[in-house]
Structure 1
Amino acid sequence: MTAGTLFDHPGLLAEAIAQASDDCIFAKDLEGRYRFANRATLAIFGFTAEQVIGRTDFEILGDGAAARRLRENDRQMLAVGQAVEREESLPAPDGSLRCYHTRKMPLRGASGDVVGLLGIARDITERKAAEAQREADRLKLAMGIQAAGLVMADIDYRTNLNHISGELARLLELGDGPLTVPRQAIFDRIHPEDRDRYLDAIRRTLDPAGNGHLAIDVRAQLPSGIVRWLHIRLQIVFEDVDGRPQPVRGICAARDVTIERIAEGRLRAAQRLTQSVIEGAGALVFAKDLQGRYILSNQAWRRLHGLRPEQVQGITDDELFGVGAAGELRANDRRVLETGEPITVEERAVVQGELTVFRSSKFPLYDEAGQVYAVCGVSTDITDVVEADRRKDEFIATLAHELRNPLAPIRTGLEILRRVGELPPTAARTRDMMERQLTHMVRLVDDLLDVSRVSRGKLGLRVEDLTLAQVLDHALESCQPAIAAAGHVLAIELPKEPVRLRGDLTRLAQVFSNLVNNAVKYTPPGGRIDLRATREAGEVVVEVCDNGSGIAPDLLPHVFDLFAQGRGTSQVGPPGLGIGLWLVRKLVELHQGSIAASSAGPGQGSTFRVRLPMAN
């Protein structure tokens, strides 16, 4: 058939056009049977014309629900009697779901009656997916902008107009919703002190030679008097105008960073203050990383070592003090790193050719993940204090020995006087007074000797198997005269089963005799002293309680300090040097025990509680 003949047959021409179309073109009768389906329609079903023509959607589609939807759409169109457009979904042969934009219209016979329908469908699956993706991207962008607290503006540089969002309008007190305002309206909100800096930044950003990007923090001064800090980001879009790139559009995002700026300002002020305090501190402040390299030092530390700030970074203890002293320092650092706990230690090192003693407080530094990344230290030079303590100990030892020398002939002289026979009453009283004072003097000298030995670490213990009863018998033997003279009642309560200890009998007896004598001294005549012992989790707890003058609250934390003396309390007997309780604590600690004091206050009595480990 020639082309001219085809044009003479409109039906053949229409079918050729339908077959050539990428759109799906089909016709159905009133019962829903397909009477025509072009190649695109057959491709949807994956069938041939013989498998489709004369069959309904229920027979062709494997999905009954989809067939019902198509049939219902057909009926609605036929009921209306005119063309209807809608979107329809159909399962593809590969199992995927395809979306089509369909236009259906009634087919009429020669008499004008509706005999079926004609449909044209276009596959819009990819377009729908792209639209869905664009909408998802838009929502993500909107959510991101909202979450970041951003306010937006779109600047048209051809008209000098700003199209601003409602959030930005409210932030700048320009209105309650989206607005289009001149660029000058935005500029007028910039704080006068920031305007020149803002204008210079804008000019550089509008220069086509640059990248068209701006990030700046400026203040906004609002009509209400409020000043806000804004972080502004601007991206310029350039286009060729008459052969030259010109700024035509700007996309702007801004965020209120007032709170962050205030917080940053306070943080910087705190950091400057901390840095000033550390740098100006008289103590030595330093920090070392996990490899032992110095990463922080203050002026006092650098002055001691004769180093400039740039010389400190990365230096190690080996370089500063030599391998020997560095080993001790590293061992203390490792204790901090391994336990995560602060420590206070004495450290010795040769500095500038002289042996120096430091009291160092060391503690861990943690990173944001909670991991230790360095050891920080604060050290004080206590060389003079240590030397003074050594000289004090030597002085006490020398004093005690020198005092003992004349005591022996005095004791001998008093003994001769006692043996010469009857003395006149006045002489006898004088002799007795001298003997009492001599006994007191001997006890004070003995205490001084013990202080000297303990301070120098030269007090040795003769450890043996003991019972608590043995210790207390020896202790009370020397206390009975003082208890009887004061008219006190001594009540003793011990466990029925023997309490076994490992210790030095003489020194443990000294502990409890000192405590009982202390109770006698501070308890008015006719008082009561209780000596109780109980077992507690592998320890024996011995309490010495009295109903005497008590201990003032401000003195209680210091009762075991060397040379501490109670004030404002009623005291019986001669005063001491304030070293008895210090000795008691040291002797208890040498036996791996502990001691504590308690009192309800002046006039309320005192309790001293000693804990000692029991022998297995």
Structure 2
Amino acid sequence: MHDPAHFLPSFVWRADRAGAVRYVNPWASRYLGLPAPHIVGRNWHEFVHPDDINPVLDALRQMHDGNLLRNVDVRLLRGDGVFHWHTLHLQAQRDESGRIGDTVGVATDIHHCRHAWAMYEASERRLKAACQGAGMGAWEWDMKSRHVRMTEQLAELYSFPSGTDAVTLTDLWNRVAPEQREPFQQEVAQALERGGPFELDFQLDGTAAPPRWLRMRGHPEFDQQGVLSCVHGVTFDISRQRAAEERLILSERRYRALVESTGALVWSAHADGEIRPADEPWGKFTGADPQRLENWGWLDFVHPDDREMAREAWLTVLRDGTAGTITFRMRRYDGHYRMVQAHAAPLYDAHGTLQEWFGTTTDVTAQHEAQAAIEARSLRLTVAMQAAEIHIVAVDLTSWTLSFEMGGEPRVGETLTYEAALSRIHPDDRPVLDGYVRQLATGGDPGAHFEFRVLNPRGEQWMEGSALLQRGADGKPLRLIASVVDITERKRMELMLRETDRRKDEFLAMLAHELRNPLAPIRTAIALFEKHDGKDQRSADLIELMRRQTEHMTRIVDDLLEVSRITQGRIALQLEPILVGTAVYHAVEAMAASVEARRQHIQVDVSDATAWVRGDVTRISQILVNILNNASKYTPEDGSISISARADEMWVEIVTTDTGSGISAELLPKVFELFSQGERTLDRSNGGLGIGLSLVKKLVELHDGTIAVESEGEGRGTTVTVSLPRLHHHERHSALALSEPAAIDKPVSLRLLIVDDNRDAADSLAMLCESEGHFARTAYSSAEAIEAAAQLRPDAALLDIGLPDIDGYELARRLRAKDETSPRLIAITGYGQAEDRLRAQAAGFDYHFVKPVNIKSLLKLLSSLTGGR
């Protein structure tokens, strides 16, 4: 047999105390590009990046202090001369004298992970810089926990202390000005009920001075059940914009009051241009005798910088003999210059002879200031768009042509027909985007943001945008206006993370399946040891220890498979009415031995013994046993565990409480995350894989239920509450109970054929069957099995499915002809899904066992078969 490291897809070496390499596995040899004999005897320094040698030496020194396990990240030299990052797991081994001798290193390649993380951090820095440049803060509301995660910019906008990255929704809403708080919350609730993106303006309370106005843009997200799960968006400061708008409104009010109280300044002029102002209005405006304005005297009241321009403009109007408009500054009675606009119109007689000019001069100061404010606001918007790299696209619905803006500046010559623009879109996204545009053009709801890919010489470019429909004065659709942002880097990172997550799920499934094979012969061997008489107490204790650890390993493998199946959506529940009290007592019974071994006290309280739920019996049991196992694992000896069930009209709650180690405030929000654990001791006595509660949460949610974990802190115990929808009496249906096999009068020996390419598994199972009085013959390939079956004519064949030459399904068909019943076919396999069982049934198998086999169930089955002979 090869050393297990021989088959590992990881870099494995063993070096002596002096650093000389004594062993490398095939994987390490392939990675280094050298045969193993050329590596053995060389110092490990030669294969480690020079900058990483000291960290490795530090880890080795620390192991001399008593800790024989250390991890360190290093760069290892590949065969092509390139260094790749690895996590090096070091384990020292003591020699017969107790001194540290050889050191074993197992290196796991993390190069791509580090590269992806570096890209992610760079993207985060760019996003942060863009938000800072735009004065914009991002946030996300968790509507289940009612907590808000925020960026540094948002915390600054709300005047939260530096370093704040999360608060409650209540803390956030309490920062809204008191008089606006209730309307603000109502508007948020209405926006979330509509389910679409929303935008709100509001003022903060007196914490910020001067008062600060913010604009919030948010987008809600819903889970698969349609329940609001989170809201995310951005918030930015609009105080300056708001102040400008308020100044503009105030200026407009003043202008209207001035026009209403004074009216326009009316004047007339001779055909040669000599002005005759109206007495009263002009006197009030200038505060001077109107006679001073006659002829060209009005120029004395014009601003010196505008005087020559106004004179030339008036001469031009006189020369052309047509209506004209002149804008200039004119001194008012208080000495201030006002921007005025003079309109002149010629009056002709019936013969076309110019008789005089009629005109009005209007104070347009307010309009002028408003225009300046609009231009200033437009400038600020342009700067913000440039900082955020926002593109504006306008679609003229009369001609179906597109024009573009970048940073508020139109792109000259960048006008395209709609069809030409659509041809630049990725073919897979083209129909969806076209449908969206045409729906919006007919007045449809724009909905949420849209994403699409643009084809350009540099490759695919991901874009995200939102659009709205602009209508004309007649209410007809006029144009579509869309804002578009380049999200290529973010999308690449999303796709990369998604692919990484998929590979992780596939690895977990593969790992769990492969672990089943070595567990099968171990469990069988333990069963054989248990059957031998004459064992001393020490041997019995050791056998029991091996049995417990094997069962523990089996549960870990099962949990790994369950998480993988749920993540990939491969779990199908077999729903039926379940009496909650029965489920609770069965779970307690399953944990009784473990609880008793730890000398713990367990209390059961099922106040409503008639409460029912609809669920999968196996999964409900798995949920409760997992929770109780956690409670027992983290509760010390002589500790207490209680489980109770109570029900109301709508829900059944199953509450488990323990007096164990509790959960820290830092870990509590993460307890349902996969592979999340608290502090582990060196002996890992309280450790696992960190998948138990994650698996339980997924199973509870598959039953439309909820789960909550509460703890007052470390050392103060934990409470887990599972809530499931209650099933009422009129909804229940009768369920059939499986009958027990008939009693066996007299056991009879069977001829058994055991086929497995794993020799240990086949041989140990054969020994176990022979210890029950059966005759067993083993075969390690399908060809050998067919030959042995012809000689033995077995009563039953126990077949592995994953055979290398002919698989177990085809072997089953060859061993038993159609319409025959002998031999009985029993599948022994690591494949346990429902589709695997159906495939085995179609191939002719009578029974199906999943590795590692439950020995009692298998022997009971064989015993029932003997009863039928």
Q: Could you tell me the TM-score, scaled by structure 2's length?
A: 0.41
Go from structure 1 to structure 2 and tell me whether the alpha carbon gap of 1:582 and 1:325 turns closer, same or farther (over 3 Å shift). Answer: farther
Alignment of 1:246-257 (within 5 A): 248-255=357-364, 256-257=366-367
Alignment of 1:275 onto 2:388: no
| Whole-Å separation in 2 of the counterparts to 1:532 and 1:168 | 93
- Map Cα deviations across residues 250-292 of structure 1 (whole Å, 9 max, x no partner): 31112313663464245424532453356459xxx999999xx
Structure-2 separation of matches of 1:371 and 1:468: 62
Which residue, 318, 343, 361 being the options, matches 1:235? 343
Task: Please point out which of 613, 621, 629 is paired with 1:517.
Answer: 629
Q: Distance in 2 between matches of 1:535 and 1:332?
A: 52
- Equivalent residues in 2 for 1:40-79, closer than 5 Å: none
For the 8 Å contact 2:523–2:550, the answer to whether it is kept is yes
Q: Which whole-Å deviations, capped at 9, do the CAs of 1:121-140 have from their partners, x for residues lacking one? A: xxxxxxxxxxxxxxxxxxxx
SS of residue matched to 1:502: strand
Is 1:208 matched with 2:320? yes
Which among 701, 705, 708 is matched to residue 589 of structure 1? 701
Looking at structure 2, the residues matched to 498 and 332 of structure 1 have their Cα atoms a distance apart, in angstroms, of 57
2:590 aligns with one of 474, 478, 499: 478
Aligned-residue CA RMSD (Å): 5.7
CA distance in 1 between counterparts of 2:586 and 2:439 reads 46
Distance (whole Å) between structure 1 residues aligned to residue 682 and residue 335 of structure 2: 71
- Whole-Å separation in 1 of the counterparts to 2:466 and 2:546: 57
Unpaired segments ≥5 residues, structure 2: 1-253, 407-412, 732-869
**Further displaced range: 530-539 or 365-374:** 365-374
Q: Which residue of 2 aligns with 1:183?
A: 298
State the Cα distance separating 1:176 from its structure 2 match: 11
Name the CA distance, whole Å, in 2 between partners of 1:159 and 1:219: 20
- Residues 403 and 416 of structure 2 are in contact (CA less than 8 Å); yes or no, is this contact kept in structure 1? no
Moved more, 473-482 or 398-407: 473-482
Q: Tell me the distance in 1 between the aligned counterparts of 2:668 and 2:390.
A: 36
Offset at 1:587?
Answer: 1.1
Q: Higher Cα Rg: structure 1 or 2?
A: 1
Are 1:260 and 2:367 an aligned pair?
Answer: no
Matches of residues 124-139 of structure 1 in structure 2 within 5 Å? none
Question: Which residues in structure 2 correspond to 1:504-543 (within 5 Å)?
Answer: 504-543=616-655
2:677 to 565, 569, 582: 565
Deviations 1:411-464 (A, max 9, x none): 344445555654685x77766555444333222211111121112211222222
For residue 498 of structure 1, report the CA deviation from its aligned partner.
Answer: 1.6
Q: 2:503 aligns with which of 350, 374, 391?
A: 391
Distance 1:589 1:239, change over 3 A: same
Amino acid at match of 1:590: L
Report deviation, 1:494.
3.0
- Structure 2 residue aligned with 1:501, among 606, 613, 616? 613
Q: Does 1:439 align with 2:551?
A: yes
Match of 2:566 among 448, 454, 475: 454
Does the Cα contact within 8 Å between 1:598 and 1:606 map onto a contact in 2? yes
1:182-232 superposed Cα distances (whole Å, 9 cap, x missing partner): 53454327xx5x888777766655553442235x5x788999999x9x774
Secondary structure of 2:586's match? helix
The 3-state SS of whatever aligns with 1:609 is strand
**Could you tell me which residue of structure 1 aligns to residue 522 of structure 2?**
410
Aligned to 1:493, the other structure's residue is in SS state strand
Distance 1:482 1:169 in 2: 101
Query: Gapped runs of 5+ residues in structure 1?
Result: 1-141, 300-307
Q: Distance in 2 between matches of 1:439 and 1:412?
A: 12
Q: Is the 8 A contact 2:604 2:643 kept in 1?
A: yes
Distance 1:511 1:465 in 2: 16
The 8 Å contact of residues 628 and 656 in structure 2, kept in 1 or not, is answered as yes
The answer on whether the counterparts of 2:556 and 2:689 sit within 8 Å (CA) in structure 1 is yes
Question: What secondary structure is seen at the aligned counterpart in 2 of 1:475?
Answer: helix
Cα separation, 2, equivalents of 1:430 and 1:264? 86
Conserved 8 A contact 1:161-1:180: no
Q: 1-side partners of 2:544 and 2:556: how far apart? A: 19
Which moved further from structure 2: 312-321 or 497-506? 312-321
3-state SS of the aligned residue for 1:257? Answer: helix
Q: Which moved more, 1:590-599 or 1:389-398?
A: 590-599
Cα separation, partners in 2 of 1:351 and 1:258, compared to 1, 3 Å: closer
What is the deviation of 1:611? 2.7
Distance in 1 between residues matched to 2:420 and 2:584, nearest whole Å: 58
Q: CA deviation at 1:404?
A: 1.9
The whole-number CA distance in structure 2 between the counterparts of 1:221 and 1:549 is: 84
Q: Distance in 2 between matches of 1:153 and 1:558?
A: 74
Distance 1:546 1:232 in 2: 83
CA 1:578–1:276 in structure 2 vs 1: closer, same or farther (change >3 Å)?
farther
Equivalenced residues, count: 446
Q: Deviations over 1:85-114 (max 9, x none)?
A: xxxxxxxxxxxxxxxxxxxxxxxxxxxxxx
Cα offset for 1:164? 9.2
d(CA) in 2 for partners of 1:449, 1:327: 38
Percent identical across equivalent pairs?
28
Mapped pair 1:612 → 2:720? no
2:455, 2:461 within 8 Å by CA — same for their partners in 1?
no
Deviation, structure 1 residue 384:
3.3
